[in-house]
Chains A and B, each alone.
Chain A
């Protein structure tokens, strides 16, 4: 059966190329698949500590990170649901796996867990568990851009919970009054652990808080990767032009518990089902194929590639050792370079 010449694919929005569209898909799928692999490893006791999924938030993380310009040295600071952001900035599945499995070769040498690691060259500064702290820190990072007259931009993620902290408040206020090139993305995924939004804040929408700091506020559908990209890109461009801070609220949803050990009993099944229907990857798949920007075969090939990459990374590192105990004493400060061994350990020589 022949068809008439198919209507031309609609123009790709947001100034992206087709390769870039595929890249966006790649990063979203990579995020999800890597996390699924991590879940398995966790249930096989190969991952120590907690495991935090970003199921349902892949678009918010990937789309926003993608809007930064790595060639200009833009830097982002992720939260725990921003594995996708880190992958966009060049973090590798191997590094992430090593982190989760506390391997000696992990980027933090086994000192910090899950995705709390950084590479300022590649452009990501890992968080610490104290929510909100990364906002003043990223204000400082962007302060250095301004002081050195560099056209670089910083991006920091906060959740609906982190926006309640004093550190968030102080950090965004300082960045705002200093007109620093900082984009603040508030991922509103509905819950901070078990605390729903209406118990976290009295505002109806997080974007309303922007007015309180005298900064521009934007809101977008966090499960639409292209919309996320667009709104973030605009904010990044404004920051680079010296127009200061933008607070972007991305509306999304956390489809798993706070961590793998949280069974989300506080969430109704209806709510979960409703949001599953708005799954960002499914939507994007629909957009890509529906608009003719990509074929199912291309996308399937990407899936395969991802599976291969992840399996290879697992195979490479899963039997690597954890750090040698004595290495715990290294590198607290530059001088001295090593902490003292406790005396009772020296008794055996």
Chain B
């Protein structure tokens, strides 16, 4: 079976679910005839019809709200945010209506909101965001962030099948740069709430997700070569729910943790993970939990600025060395 890109894997997952379950439909801006700004939904309207791949006006609140109404009635909508930066336009209806629907009203709302997040593409402040922290603390939402092609497919399928609203944050930098050969003849499903050990190690654990998985793996390689350090890399894959058991297991194994995420530092999810480690695995720590994040600034456009602000492999290496030496 040939290699496919992260984007193709995502599209494949979408298409498989739409073929398998005719309650699944897609709505968003330019997703139909145009196939989506990044072509994620290319070909879907031709295959499944205008009824099931709907081009909407520029109206994120309406996209999300309509998805909720349709989901109440038993359909399975998959909303696209053209850039995930625009999910904030739907923040109110997502957090006040969608997230609370089951709890306050017993209303089933099985819907997915997905979109390309992340930077390293010289996109400037409004085409590069990582919004997970804004939604992490809202009970009622699930959040996933695939890093591999396999998980891009596995998690979109799982998200569509989940009975709860799921935010699916794919990473635009990975779309065409990550390729993988997916197994033939087997259904690719990634359980939501389950992390994956991407690389085994003994001396230090890096906990990360999305594009930072690849930077962390590169850093781990470098540390093994140059420092003889054995670094374990844990790909969380799901941020809500988070795989506490996997986090505790890796802390118990290496006793030294570095959290790496692309989002800004203050209020970023690394703080939540650190608090959980403190709650669940304090006695296993042989060094303070450190984090590598973006600087606390809006993401600038110029390459020199963006490369400075966002975490790079060398940043991960330097931080890992500090933690390893503590």
Do A and B touch, yes or no (CB under 8 Å, in the complex)?
Answer: yes
Which of chain B's residues has its CB closest to A171's CB? B62
- The answer to whether A136 and B61 have CB atoms under 8 Å apart is yes
- B-side interface size class: 35 or more
**Cα–Cα, bound, A217→B107 (Å):** 32
Closest to A120 in B: B72
| A334: B residues at CB distance < 8 A | 102, 162-164
User: Complex: how many Å from CA A144 to CA B23?
Assistant: 9
Q: Are B69 and A331 in touch, CB under 8 angstroms?
A: no
- A residues within 8 A CB of B241? 336
B103 within 8 A of A: yes
Q: Which of B73, B93, B279 lies in contact with A120, CB distance below 8 A?
A: B73
In angstroms, Cα B105 to Cα A178, docked, is 27
| Residues of chain B lying within 8 A (CB to CB) of residue A147 | 25, 51-52, 70, 75
Q: Which of B59, B73, B100 contacts A174 (CB 8 A)?
A: B59
- Asked if B57 and A177 sit within 8 Å, CB to CB, the answer is yes
- Determine if A170 and B57 form an interchain contact, defined as CB atoms under 8 angstroms apart: yes
Query: Quick one: which of A126, A133, A144, A336 contacts B93, CB cutoff 8 A?
Result: A133
- Contact of B105 with A138 in the complex, beta carbons under 8 Å: no
Residue numbers in B under 8 Å from A336 (CB-CB): 241
A136 touches which one: B25, B54, B66 (CB < 8 A)? B66
Q: CB within 8 A of A170: which of B62, B139, B164?
A: B62
Interface mask (A118-141 → B, CB under 8 Å = 1, otherwise 0): 101000011011100101111111
Q: Assess the B68–A335 pair: CB atoms within 8 A.
A: no
- B59 CB contacts on chain A under 8 angstroms: 136, 170, 173-174
Residues of A within 8 A of B103 (CB): 111, 331-332
Asked if B61 and A126 sit within 8 Å, CB to CB, the answer is: no
Interface residues of B in 90-134 (CB under 8 A from A): 92-93, 96-97, 100, 102-107
Q: Is the CB of B105 within 8 A of A140?
A: no
Pick from B65, B67, B105, B193: contact of A135, CB below 8 A.
B65
CB distance from B106 to the nearest CB of A (A): 7
User: Which residues on B sit within 8 Å (CB–CB) of A307?
Assistant: none
Known A-B contacts A167-B61, A170-B57, A173-B57; the reply to A137 vs B68 at CB < 8 A is yes
The one of A112, A130, A136, A177 in contact with B104, judged by C-beta atoms closer than 8 angstroms, is A112
Q: Is the CB of A140 within 8 A of B70?
A: yes
| Closest residue of B by beta carbon distance from A132 | B61
A16 on the interface (CB 8 Å rule)? no
Q: Which residues of A contact B100 (CB under 8 A)?
A: 128
Q: Is A229 an interface residue (CB 8 A)?
A: no
A147 to B107, CA, bound (A): 20
Is B71's beta carbon under 8 Å from chain A?
yes
Known pairs A108-B105, A333-B142, A335-B162; A174 contacts B74 (CB<8 A)? no
Closest to A144 in B: B73
- Is A117 engaged at the interface, CB distance under 8 Å to the other chain? yes
Q: Which of A139, A170, A343 is the one whose CB lies under 8 Å from B69?
A: A139
The answer for the CA separation of A136 and B75 in the assembled complex, in Å, is 15
Give the docked Cα–Cα distance between A74 and B83 (Å).
36
Given A133-B65, A138-B69, A167-B93, does the pair A333, B107 have CB atoms closer than 8 Å? no
Per-residue contact bits, chain A 310-339, to B (CB 8 Å; 1 contact, 0 not): 000000000000000000000111111001
Q: Report the Cα distance A108→B104, complex, angstroms.
A: 6
Could you list 27 examples of A-B contacts with CB < 8 Å? A111-B103, A120-B72, A125-B72, A125-B107, A126-B105, A133-B61, A135-B65, A136-B61, A136-B68, A136-B69, A139-B66, A140-B66, A140-B71, A141-B72, A142-B69, A143-B66, A147-B25, A147-B51, A166-B61, A170-B62, A171-B62, A174-B63, A177-B57, A334-B164, A335-B193, A339-B139, A343-B279
Q: Which 3 A-B pairs have the closest CB atoms?
A: A140-B69, A136-B65, A140-B66
The interface of chain A, by Cβ under 8 A from chain B, is 108, 111-112, 116-118, 120, 125-126, 128-130, 133, 135-145, 147, 166-167, 170-171, 173-174, 177-178, 331-336, 339, 343
